[in-house]
Amino acid sequence: MGENKDRMLAGEWYLPDDPELDADTERRSALCAAYNANGGAAPGRRAEILAGLLGSVGEDVRIRPPFQCDYGRYIFIGDRTFINFNAVLLDAAPITVGADVQIGPNVQLLTPAHELDTERRRAGWERASPIIIGDNVWLGGGVIVCPGVTIGENTVVGAGSVVTKDLPAGVLAVGNPARVVRALTTTLIPGTE
């Protein structure tokens, strides 16, 4: 790996305008275009494209096109996860999505952050922090998850919320910034006890 890519993956300041990162972007661009153009293709073909694009893809994962990402290879998705239309996963740092996760339309998982210093920002410096989404999480439509956030398992984030800090397991969070409004309880569906 190149020094710039090493810095990116280590969460250090890096310049995204780099030949090695550009090659990853071209690879991602071609695979995303193929996936998005093949939205009506057989599930086997869509799964094959995802397997080539993402770091790992669990069983029975469904992602509705269009879908966009930075590199793809740093995204890891667990079994039976569903991602709705217009998802944007910017994976300059790893994005780990657990099993049985439901992601609404227009959701953004954003690992990069830009420099606040005007000169360094103009020069293009950024750094990225991983995002972790636990098992059985539901992100409502339009949710934005910011760099470095972990969302605990069984948590629900209301539509349009902006998650700037970690959320514990088993809560309902809403707003901008997202705030926990209550704990969630497990309800058994009749006949499943």
Q: Is 114 an annotated catalytic residue?
A: yes
- Beta strands 126-128; 112-114: pairing state: antiparallel
3-class DSSP assignment, residue 8: helix
Q: Which of 62, 114, 120, 121 is catalytic?
A: 114
The three-state secondary structure class of 63 is strand
116, 32 Cβ separation under 8 angstroms: no
The pairing of strands 108-110 and 112-114 is unpaired
* Closest alpha carbon to 168 in 176, 160, 178: 178
Catalytic sites, residue numbers: 114
